[in-house]
Amino acid sequence: MQTNKLLTITTLMVMLLLTGCGGKDTPVPAPGTVSLSSPADSTACLKSTLTSGSTASVTFSWKAASNADSYRLDVKNQKTQTTTSYNTSNESYTLNLDVNTPYSWDVVAINNTGKVTSDVWEFYLSGTPSSSYAPFPADLISPASGTVISTKGVSSIQVTFKWTASDPDNDIASYAVYLDNTNASTPLIATQMADSTIQTLTSGKTYYWKVVTLDNAGNSSTSEINSFQLK
């Protein structure tokens, strides 16, 4: 009996030693949510610090995310549809950007466990104060670019097009939709208020589409071009 008791105690001690010395460290959780601060979403941002006649200094800021080791700021020029990324360990970053240009931006919180991306915000960097600003280019939701839609052998199917858009002045008047099999230069709908449409399309083709947003002052903006296939 005494031998069994001694063996049990010895086993427990060995297990404790193994746990203390050879056990795995508790993994660090993935970063928490990133909350953006400024520039504010869907606003016209006037030049605060003039860099030159065509650029202005803009400071992006956000709230610290839990467990984040670093951040990646992604800034998209919506005129050129190009995105540039910047790495930092701070909760702010200052850039010189072209004026009279719409932008979108987000922040990615990063650590060794993973990455978490914030919401995407938009702003218009204005050269001078104005009573009317152009709408932001529409975000095409569906069909997403690169999508392959199965037609299940039928010659044509109905496809639902959806998009979202916003305007610093909140005065979007209408949308125009372009669709064809080459470069989205063919008007499909000249003007409509709804942010969706259903179209019957022929199977076995690749389609390209875009949306032009018009506001009450006559300003307009053009979305990216998305392509999709019907097979």
Residues 103, 154, single domain; the answer is no
Low-confidence ranges of the chain (pLDDT < 70): 1-25, 48-53
- Among 126, 156, 187, residue at a domain's last position: 126
Residues 102, 43, single domain; the answer is yes
Residue 179 maps to a domain: yes
Handedness of CA 104, 62, 169, 56 (dihedral sign): negative
Tell me, what's the pLDDT at 143? 97
- Among 91, 126, 161, residue at a domain's last position: 126
Nearest to 116 by CA among 173, 84, 62, 68: 68
Residue-range definition of the domain harbouring residue 117: 35-126
Residue-wise pLDDT for 87-101, tens only, equals 999 999 999 999 989
Residue 215 maps to a domain: yes
